[in-house]
Amino acid sequence: MPQITPNLWFDTQSVEAAEFYVSVFPNSKIKNISYYNEAGPRPAGSVLTVDFVLDGKEFTAINGGPEFTFDEAVSFMIACADQKEIDHYWNKLSEGGEEGPCGWVKDKYGLSWQVAPTGMAELMNDPDQGRATRAMRAMLGMKKIDMAALQAAADQE
């Protein structure tokens, strides 16, 4: 089966962005950097692509130019085991970026991330509709997800 690798389009910040992402996630590294040559379309010797790994997942960043930018139509979800992980990723990714609702954060490069606890979908789809509704209402009022507050809201009678 072929490997699917997300390819992230930047103007000129691919190395900077890859270095940032590698610093945020464990078990991550930059694997390769390739450069434009005389064929262009950008100056020979400038960075073309950066291949990197984030916690075992392959990515490529390309310096393709200013024609395209990120929007919320594509995001990456980070399933966090506990509040400590949520806090870590939220704080790192929101630095210089923009906090959004319901666990969404846009990093300083404009890439959107969903920082959410593992099991949140189960809570939102709880067979007890009252619990699910209370959890959903609580989440809709949050920016960074607060697991204890979410659970407390679900458990209220």
More confident residue, 124 or 109: 109
Which CATH number characterizes residue 85's domain?
Answer: 3.10.180.10
Domain that holds residue 102: 75-155
Instruction: Say how far apart CA 116 and CA 154 lie, in whole Å.
Output: 16
Q: What is the pLDDT of residue 68?
A: 96
87 and 46 belong to one structural domain: no
82 and 28 belong to one structural domain: no
Domains in the chain, number = 2
Q: Measure CA 16 to chain center.
A: 16
Which CATH number characterizes residue 22's domain?
Answer: 3.30.720.100
Contact 25, 78 (CB under 8 A): no
51 and 109 belong to one structural domain: no
24 and 94 belong to one structural domain: no
Q: What is the pTM of this model?
A: 0.92
In a domain, 1, yes or no: no
* 40-93 pLDDT, tens digit each: 899 999 999 999 999 999 999 999 999 999 999 999 999 999 999 999 999 999
Q: What is the pLDDT of residue 54?
A: 98
Please enumerate in sequence order all residues whose Cβ is within 8 A of that of 63, keeping only pairs 6 or more positions apart, or say none: 10, 11, 12, 13, 14, 42, 46, 47, 48, 49
82 and 122 belong to one structural domain: yes
Contact 79, 118 (CB under 8 A): yes
The number of CA neighbours under 13 Å toward the Cβ of 136 is 11
**12 Ramachandran zone, left/alpha/beta (phi>0; psi -120 to 50):** alpha
